[in-house]
A and B are shown apart, each in its own frame.
Chain A
Amino acid sequence: DAGVIQSPRHEVTEMGQEVTLRCKPISGHDYLFWYRQTMMRGLELLIYFNNNVPIDDSGMPEDRFSAKMPNASFSTLKIQPSEPRDSAVYFCASSPPGGAFNEQFFGPGTRLTVL
């Protein structure tokens, strides 16, 4: 079975450019999470969706970050404009319906480098 799919796996861009990260959750899962991991701050939740609706975006660092989930099989995390401090590994995760026990399935991550 396909797990959570993220693209691209690596992204190198210059400061000021727009960056779009993509995620395809596991089919049938109705929760989708975006996390960011850095050496300094560890793994942090940015935003999560339930049935394509954003539920909690309190972890989104600032207005430069936005996330969308236009349908059950696709989500994007956009950074515009990007800054060097956005360099991190970004993980997408999904959870099955109900979600009460919160077993989350993580993708392989996108390593973002902003020069």
Chain B
Amino acid sequence: DAKTTQPPSMDCAEGRAANLPCNHSTISGNEYVYWYRQIHSQGPQYIIHGLKNNETNEMASLIITEDRKSSTLILPHATLRDTAVYYCIVRVVGGGADGLTFGKGTHLIIQP
């Protein structure tokens, strides 16, 4: 799986959009970008994934650059409950599931 680089921490004001960057310059053509988050003392939670098109669901939007070497997770209206560690993971899809490789992630702190 391709390696990812994320800032260790970020702050965002409550009610504003939180934009979390991820670099994955060695991503292969058949690798997807996944985002998970882990709120303190809880298990990780799936947020969103994408291949090359931008994706949106009820939790967040995922913007992937045209060359696919980086992406941004956007939480449109951050709340205090969005304070968590956010993990960007890239991996091949297909042939069944297998384990996720978590890096250190970005600790997002939402300020009141």
A-side residues, CB < 8 A to B, are 4, 31, 33, 35, 42-45, 48, 50, 55-56, 59, 91, 93, 95, 98-109
Set of chain B residues within 8 Å of A101, measured between Cβ atoms: 32, 49, 93
A-contact 0/1 string along B18-52, CB 8 Å cutoff: 00000000000000101000000111111001000
Question: When chains A and B are docked, how far (Å) is the Cα of A48 from the Cα of B45?
Answer: 18
Most chain-A Cβ atoms within 10 A of its Cβ — which of B42, B91, B96? B96
Set of chain A residues within 8 Å of B91, measured between Cβ atoms: 102
Set of chain A residues within 8 Å of B41, measured between Cβ atoms: 109
B-side residues, CB < 8 A to A, are 32, 34, 41-46, 49, 91, 93-104
Q: Which residue of A lies closest to B104 (CB)?
A: A42
A45 touching B101, Cβ below 8 Å: yes
A91 touching B43, Cβ below 8 Å: yes
Q: Which residue of B lies closest to A31 (CB)?
A: B97
SS of B interface (majority): loop
B93 touching A104, Cβ below 8 Å: no
5 residue pairs of the A-B complex, CB under 8 angstroms, read A56-B99, A100-B93, A100-B95, A104-B44, A104-B97
Q: How many A-B residue pairs have CB under 8 A?
A: 65
Set of chain B residues within 8 Å of A105, measured between Cβ atoms: 46
Say yes or no: A50-B45 contact (C-beta < 8 A), given A42-B102, A43-B102, A102-B91: no
Question: When chains A and B are docked, how far (Å) is the Cα of A56 from the Cα of B46?
Answer: 22
Closest CB-CB distance, B95 to chain A, in whole Å? 7
Say yes or no: A50-B104 contact (C-beta < 8 A), given A43-B44, A109-B43: no
- List 7 tightest A-B contacts by C-beta distance, closest first: A99-B97, A106-B43, A45-B99, A43-B102, A102-B97, A95-B97, A103-B46
Question: When chains A and B are docked, how far (Å) is the Cα of A33 from the Cα of B95?
Answer: 17
B34 touching A102, Cβ below 8 Å: yes
A55 touching B98, Cβ below 8 Å: yes
A48 touching B99, Cβ below 8 Å: yes
